[in-house]
């Protein structure tokens, strides 16, 4: 594959940035990749494992001369990082991000950027429960979606080029409006994470009355929840605080359905339960029919922090 950008700067060296670096290297997609992480410890780890061609001690140094800058920090840190890099961006550069929420990131980042750069938000729909510089791997984005969320002023040629990079990193690329993105992701990712966090929290509370049996005999369904609920607390705190409206909307619908199922169980409405579960079973089949990799090979991959 050929080079898409001359110099890419990755700000925040965790799961997504490290996976991007390895995927860019795999495809020879950039001349040089610079990286910056906030803590000395992460920068030292990055240097030790060869993550990034050049690890910089300041965000300003990392973005200097870059034709693509990707913000790979938690959603709540995007604004501060943007303020830090804004005066050092090269005219004509593209600034993108990988945040799990889009409207709040657009509102936080956009106003700080000079008009001479292209701002093109994006979100790869791929991850694991691991985080930090050692957790990334080149295949993370293979056959997964990356949603590009252009803002009104986004230059079509710059959007096309960013899409080309994500395709070359293995992703299927699509475009989406920011508010629609946040609603869709509330359904497919954010509320499911909240439910997993809650279920594991309930089990943890119960541990005291079941003498650790909940953990010892945990069945497959619960184990899946524990994987999700092991995800980074900072990242997920920021997701919920920054996608408040869509999360609360979907959570409201979820609670209504839960109460309906609760009543069906209490009143012995077997047919109602059966019909409901038949409907939900079909959803998984339709995802499989659409050719999506439901049991993503990435799950469980990558090292813990």
Ligand X SMILES: O=C(O)C(=O)C[C@]1(C(=O)O)C=C[C@@H](O)C=C1
Ligand Y SMILES: NC(=O)c1ccc[n+]([C@@H]2O[C@H](COP(=O)([O-])OP(=O)(O)OC[C@H]3O[C@@H](n4cnc5c(N)ncnc54)[C@H](O)[C@@H]3O)[C@@H](O)[C@H]2O)c1
Binding site for ligand X (CB under 6 A): 100, 125-129, 189, 231, 299
Contact predicate 73/51, CB 8 Å: no
By CB under 6 A, which span of 93-101, 164-172, 173-181, 264-272 interacts with ligand Y?
A: 93-101
> From the list ligand Y, ligand X, none, which binds 189 (C-beta under 5 to 8 Å, kind-based)?
ligand X
Sole binder of ligand Y in the list 23, 77, 158, 168 (CB under 6 A): 77
Q: With respect to ligand X, which residue has the nearer C-beta, 121 or 127?
A: 127
By CB under 6 A, which span of 2-10, 34-42, 275-283, 292-300 interacts with ligand Y?
A: 34-42
* Distance, CA of 260 to CA of 255 (rounded, Å): 9
Quick check: 142 binds ligand Y (CB under 6 A)? no
Q: With respect to ligand X, which residue has the nearer C-beta, 82 or 242?
A: 242
Other beta carbons within 10 Å of 74: 21
- Helix ranges (H only) for the chain are 15-27, 40-49, 59-63, 78-85, 103-109, 156-168, 178-185, 191-210, 213-216, 220-228, 233-242, 244-266, 270-289
Tokens of 254: 């979820």
Choose among 102, 112, 91: nearest CA to 151. 102
Quick check: 302 binds ligand Y (CB under 6 A)? no
Looking only at the bridges linking them, the beta strands covering 145-148 and 122-124 are: antiparallel
Quick check: 108 binds ligand Y (CB under 6 A)? no
Tokens of 159: 């959007």
Look up tokens 């080079």; give the residue: 3
| Residue numbers 239-258 binding ligand Y by CB under 6 A | 239
> From the list ligand Y, ligand X, none, which binds 42 (C-beta under 5 to 8 Å, kind-based)?
ligand Y
Encode 26-42: b = buried (16+ Cβ within 10 Å), e = exposed: bbebbeebbbbbeeeeb
Quick check: 196 binds ligand Y (CB under 6 A)? no
Quick check: 124 binds ligand Y (CB under 6 A)? yes
Q: With respect to ligand Y, which residue has the nearer C-beta, 214 or 235?
A: 235
Sole binder of ligand Y in the list 34, 45, 96, 131 (CB under 6 A): 131
Quick check: 15 binds ligand Y (CB under 6 A)? yes
């Amino acid at each position: 594959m050929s080079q898409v950008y001359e110099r890419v700067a990755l700000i925040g060296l965790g799961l997504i940035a490290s996976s991007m670096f390895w995927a860019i290297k795999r495809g020879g997609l950039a001349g040089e990749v610079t990286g910056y992480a906030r803590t000395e410890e992460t920068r030292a780890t990055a240097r030790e494992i060869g993550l990034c061609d050049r690890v910089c001690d300041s965000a300003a140094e990392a973005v200097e001369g870059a034709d693509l800058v990707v913000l790979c920090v938690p959603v709540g840190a995007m604004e501060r990082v943007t303020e830090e890099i804004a005066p050092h961006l090269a005219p004509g550069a593209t600034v993108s991000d990988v945040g799990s929420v889009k409207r709040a990131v657009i509102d936080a980042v956009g106003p700080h950027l000079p008009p001479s750069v292209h701002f093109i938000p994006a979100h790869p729909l791929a991850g694991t429960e691991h985080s930090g510089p050692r957790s990334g791997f080149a295949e993370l984005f293979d056959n997964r979606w990356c949603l590009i969320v252009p803002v009104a002023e986004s230059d079509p040629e710059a959007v096309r080029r960013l899409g080309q990079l994500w395709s070359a990193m293995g992703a299927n690329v699509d475009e989406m409006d920011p508010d629609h993105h946040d609603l869709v992701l509330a359904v497919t990712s954010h509320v499911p994470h909240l439910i997993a966090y809650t279920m594991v929290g309930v089990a943890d509370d119960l541990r005291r009355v079941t003498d650790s049996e909940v953990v010892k005999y945990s069945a497959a369904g619960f184990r899946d929840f524990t994987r999700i609920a092991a995800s980074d607390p900072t990242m997920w705190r920021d997701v919920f605080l920054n996608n408040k409206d869509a999360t609360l909307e979907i959570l409201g619908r979820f609670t209504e359905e839960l109460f309906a199922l609760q009543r069906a169980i209490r009143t012995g409405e077997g047919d109602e339960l059966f019909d409901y579960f038949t409907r939900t079973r079909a959803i998984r089949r339709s995802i499989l029919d659409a050719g999506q990799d439901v049991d993503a090979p990435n799950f469980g991959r990558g090292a813990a922090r």
